[in-house]
Amino acid sequence: MSKQCDIVRDILPLYVDGACSEASAEMVKEHLNACADCNAIYQKLLSHTSEDVLHEESESVIMRHEAKEKQRGRKKITIAVLVSIALCIIAIFTALFLLPINIAYEPVKIDFPFEVEDVENVEMYHYDGVPESAEKKVVVAENDIKTLYDKFKGLSLKDKTTEETAGADVTSFRFNLSDGTSYDLIYACYGVKNGELKSAAGGFKYFTSADIGSYWNNLNKELEATPVNESELPGSESISQNDIVLITAKSKLVKAYEDDFEKSRNLIFTGNRRFYKYE
């Protein structure tokens, strides 16, 4: 587009209205004959009344306004979606960190209701598959008693069931206190370093991967093993149940064992499950 085109297009409206000077009109006329582009604009102006132009202009203004409104609407929707997603993420994180999570695998710990100094001796019982073959060792050395006491105190037990196989390797521990009470723990090994620690009196059974069974052979090589009657074994039915109340964080009072209080063999758990002496 030439410079002359620019000038012609500026004065075209005046030319159409017959309002420009004769000299200008002459110049425009000449240019329109020679320039097809400017002529096309001229023809358009001729066919349009001023009302048409006004109408067209107002239409375009309305259209531009509508387009802008739509864009704004889209922006509003986008912001709303982003805010919802952010709120969902916050809600999920809150649920994960603040609400109580599944406690099924929460480890529990044994908290003996007595001190290591109260223990007079620990009777270890062991049998491989058949209780008739059971043997017993009596641990009296202070440091050996402490080793066992600390081991059980430090254990993290899991509330997880294992496949119970027949003929388990069973090692039990009876903590005899100087006041005459005793506390039993039974370990049944079902695999390599894989078994359950149980309390017949407390009614619990917890999974442990600790190598409890090795204490039978390795705690003190000087200890002499003597045969023992099956009825004497920890967990045996001939041994009376204890007075224990099982309390969990959820139910508070789930189960109570009420029997011979004098001979009680009690265990107290910390964590979600607690065993309390019934008094």
- Residues lying near Zn ion in the complex (CB under 5 A): 5, 35, 38
Q: Toward Zn ion, which CB reaches closer, 38 or 247? A: 38
Residue in the structure block whose two tokens are 């037990």: 157
**Alpha carbons 251 and 264: distance in angstroms, whole number:** 24
Reduced to 3 states, what is the DSSP secondary structure of residue 158? strand
Burial label, 203 (beta-carbon count in 10 A; 0-12, 13-18, 19+): middle
Q: Toward Zn ion, which CB reaches closer, 9 or 137? A: 9
Helix extents (H) in the chain: 3-16, 22-34, 36-47, 50-98, 142-154, 215-218
**Closest CB 56 distance from Zn ion, rounded Å:** 23
Q: Toward Zn ion, which CB reaches closer, 5 or 138? A: 5
**Closest CB 39 distance from Zn ion, rounded Å:** 8
**Closest CB 10 distance from Zn ion, rounded Å:** 11
Q: Toward Zn ion, which CB reaches closer, 20 or 116? A: 20
User: Which distant-in-sequence residues (6+ apart) come within 8 Å of 99 by Cβ?
Assistant: none
**Closest CB 32 distance from Zn ion, rounded Å:** 8
Q: Toward Zn ion, which CB reaches closer, 30 or 69? A: 30
Residue 172's φ and ψ, nearest 5 degrees, are -120, 155
For the chain, helix (H) and strand (E) counts, in that order, are 6, 12
**Closest CB 42 distance from Zn ion, rounded Å:** 10
Tokens standing for residue 74: 């889209």
Tokens standing for residue 124: 């270890």
209 with 158: CB under 8 angstroms? no
**Closest CB 46 distance from Zn ion, rounded Å:** 16
Residue 194's φ and ψ, nearest 5 degrees, are -150, 110
- A 10 A CB-CB count for 32 gives 19
Q: Toward Zn ion, which CB reaches closer, 39 or 236? A: 39
Q: Toward Zn ion, which CB reaches closer, 34 or 87? A: 34
Instruction: Report the run of H or E that residue 205 belongs to, with start and end.
Output: strand 204-208
**Closest CB 3 distance from Zn ion, rounded Å:** 10
